[in-house]
Structure formats: structure tokens, C-alpha cells
């Protein structure tokens, strides 16, 4: 089993990412950190703890990180995720506690305590990961790889050309991509294939777990808002696709390429430039997801949800 840390901003799809990381036997979830993104940090931190509480996951430390991006103001996405970030179900009390230490401290401690390099799965703006690499560069060799949901090889979802996580903190993305740590981008070009169809919802509900029942209420809300905002009634469940890269590498096809992020554009801030054709004649610096085995992906999520409370 692969040791992993999940850095997230729950968010409906982040919850499923946490569940896949906690519930699938291929991964060993060592820590969870939260960042301001879909909603403010106080909400994402509580929501991460609720996600673990509902799933019956205990003993995984949760710490809050950056409330705002490295240099820009925080932009949030209440129109997709609701005012509290987890619109839909009635939210239970989070019995999983919040650590007194901050996110970068928790990640650093987790990396130092591990007997082997640990992978970081990031499903929100990369602010926490960037702060860690900026302030504790000596820890880079202890990070096995970073797999991030964000960006796109095609169009965006926050602006015409920028995906939300990239757009919220493009400076963090830039720092992380330049850090030299093995980096994988799982963007909208593949996550838009992870569609929550009625068949998917039936399949998850059939596991009969409390986690699945809570998840069904999340999905109902998420599909409704995705229909309203994007005309996608089968909402794309972005974040667990990044987790799938580590759970079952054969499910997500990756391509090695050059990746850069727009930091200065007047209309394209946060757009990811993916140079598949080598036009820029720069060294490849990342892996980018280009295909998804949709059936097997949902099988992984189903297995995880069935294993949880
Ligand atoms: C990403 O943005 C957030 O709203 C989702 O949780 C996901 O991480 C998709 O663009
Ligand atoms: Ca997210």
C-alpha cells in the first residue's frame, strides 16, 4: 500500500477523493490538509472532518492550511458547492478533530515520520504544497510525487481558458511545477469524462453503506448545480480522478510533456499551457492525464465506498 497525503478544499468531489484515498486498500492515507478554495478555509476544514467522520475514518490527522492564495485574493465557488461547501445533506457534527498544528507542519511531520517517500494528492488550489516547497525545500526528496486535480489541456471552467484550482492560485501552481518534484496534472480534459450518471449513482447507492447514502445526497445537489451552471446534469466528479492515478495507474493514461501556467494574461490568467507538440522546445517537466477508463474508475470509487462505514 502506498502512503499518501490528501490536500483538499471540500467541496463535493473532494469528499469522494478523500473516501477513495481512505477506503481503497491500495492506499494508506497518512494525513489530510485543507486549503481555502471552493469555500473559505473554515468550511473546507470542517467539511474534510465531516467527510472522514461519516466514513468512519479515525486516526488520520487533519490540519488547516492557507486561507488565501500566495499573492491573490481568494475566489470561491458557492454556486457549485453551496454556501457551506457541502450543499445537500444535513451535516453531522464532525467528531474527527482538527490538529493544533498547521497544514505545512502536518505534511512536514508526516513526510519525516514515513519510512519511504510519500505521495501528495492535491485536489484544490496548490497553496499549501507551494508553501511547503518554498519554506521546507529540504523535504522535496521525501515527496514521492505530487498528483494534482486541476488545469486542462482544453478549455477552462472558471474562465474560458482556466480551470478553477489553477485560476485560484496560479502562482502556487507555477512554484510547484518548477520545484522539480515529480508532478502530474489531472485536468478537465479527463475529469469531464468522470460523469455522475444515474447508473453511477445507483451503483454507489447499492453498496448500502452510510457513506454511500450521504454521498447520494451530495451528488444530487452537485448534479443540480452543475446542470444550472454548466448545463452538465451528470456532474463531473473531478477530484477522485487524481486519486485514481495512484490507486490503479492503468485507469488514467498519462503523457510526459511541458507544462506552464499563465501568470500575466489579461484574459487567460491560470490557463495551463500543455506543449504536447514540443513547440516551445522546453524540457518536459510534468505528466499530464490524457485518457480515463471510465468504467474501471467508477469501480474503484465503488470499492472504496463499500469498504467505508
Ligand atoms: C475543481 O474545482 C473545484 O470546484 C473542484 O472541487 C475541483 O477540485 C474542478 O475544477
Ligand atoms: Ca477540489
Q: End-to-end CA distance of the chain: give it in Å, rounded.
A: 20
How confident is the model at residue 265, as a pLDDT?
Answer: 86
274 DSSP β-pair partners: 259
Measured from the CA of 158, which atom of ligand 1 is nearest?
A: 10
Q: Give 108-161 pLDDT, tens digit per residue.
A: 999 999 999 999 999 999 999 999 999 999 999 999 999 999 999 999 999 999
ipTM > 0.90 (yes/no):
yes
Measured from the CA of 123, which atom of ligand 1 is nearest?
A: 8
Q: Are 299 and 307 in contact (CB under 8 A)?
A: no
122: left (phi over 0), alpha (psi -120 to 50) or beta: beta
Q: Are 147 and 242 in contact (CB under 8 A)?
A: yes
Task: Please report which ligand is nearest the Cα atom of 35.
Answer: 2
Name the residues around ion ligand 2, CB cutoff 5 A. 9, 11, 14, 123-124, 239
Examine the residue annotation and report whether 238 is marked as an active-site residue of this protein: yes
Pick out the chain residues at pLDDT < 70: none
Out of 18, 194, 230, 239, give the residue to mutate to test ligand 1, the one with the largest number of ligand atoms within 8 Å of its CB: 239
Rg of the chain over Cα atoms, rounded to whole angstroms, equals 17
Pocket of ligand 1 (CB under 6 A): 11, 13-14, 38, 77, 80, 123-124, 149, 157, 163-165, 238-239
Q: Are 303 and 23 in contact (CB under 8 A)?
A: yes
Amino acid at each position: 500500500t502506498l502512503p499518501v497525503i490528501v490536500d483538499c478544499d471540500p467541496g463535493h468531489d473532494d469528499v469522494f477523493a478523500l473516501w477513495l484515498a481512505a477506503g481503497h486498500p491500495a492506499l494508506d492515507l497518512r494525513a489530510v490538509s485543507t486549503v481555502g478554495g471552493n469555500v473559505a478555509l473554515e468550511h473546507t476544514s470542517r467539511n474534510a472532518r465531516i467527510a472522514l467522520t461519516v466514513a468512519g475514518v479515525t486516526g488520520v490527522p487533519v490540519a488547516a492550511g492557507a486561507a488565501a492564495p500566495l499573492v491573490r485574493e481568494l475566489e470561491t465557488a458557492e454556486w457549485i458547492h453551496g454556501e457551506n461547501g457541502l450543499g445537500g445533506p444535513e451535516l453531522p457534527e464532525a467528531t474527527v478533530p482538527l490538529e493544533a498544528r498547521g497544514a505545512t507542519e502536518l505534511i512536514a511531520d508526516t513526510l519525516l515520520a514515513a519510512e519511504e517517500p510519500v505521495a501528495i494528492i492535491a485536489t484544490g488550489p496548490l497553496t499549501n504544497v507551494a508553501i511547503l516547497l518554498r519554506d521546507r525545500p529540504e523535504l522535496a526528496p521525501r515527496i514521492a510525487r505530487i498528483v494534482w486535480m486541476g488545469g486542462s489541456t482544453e478549455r477552462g471552467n472558471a474562465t474560458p481558458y482556466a480551470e478553477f484550482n489553477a485560476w485560484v492560485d496560479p502562482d502556487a501552481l507555477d512554484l510547484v511545477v518548477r520545484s522539480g518534484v515529480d508532478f502530474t496534472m489531472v485536468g478537465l480534459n479527463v475529469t469531464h469524462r468522470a460523469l455522475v450518471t444515474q447508473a453511477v449513482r445507483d451503483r454507489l447507492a447499492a453498496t448500502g453503506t452510510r457513506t454511500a447514502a450521504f454521498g447520494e445526497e451530495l451528488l444530487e445537489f452537485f448534479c443540480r448545480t452543475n446542470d444550472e451552471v454548466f448545463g452538465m446534469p451528470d456532474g463531473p466528479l473531478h477530484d477522485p480522478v487524481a486519486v485514481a492515478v495512484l490507486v490503479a495507474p492503468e485507469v488514467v493514461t498519462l503523457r510526459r510533456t511541458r507544462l506552464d501556467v499563465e501568470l500575466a494574461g489579461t484574459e487567460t490568467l491560470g490557463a495551463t499551457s500543455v506543449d504536447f507538440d514540443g513547440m516551445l522546445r522546453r524540457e518536459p517537466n510534468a505528466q499530464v492525464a490524457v485518457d480515463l477508463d471510465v468504467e474501471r474508475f467508477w469501480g474503484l470509487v465503488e470499492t472504496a465506498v463499500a469498504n467505508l462505514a
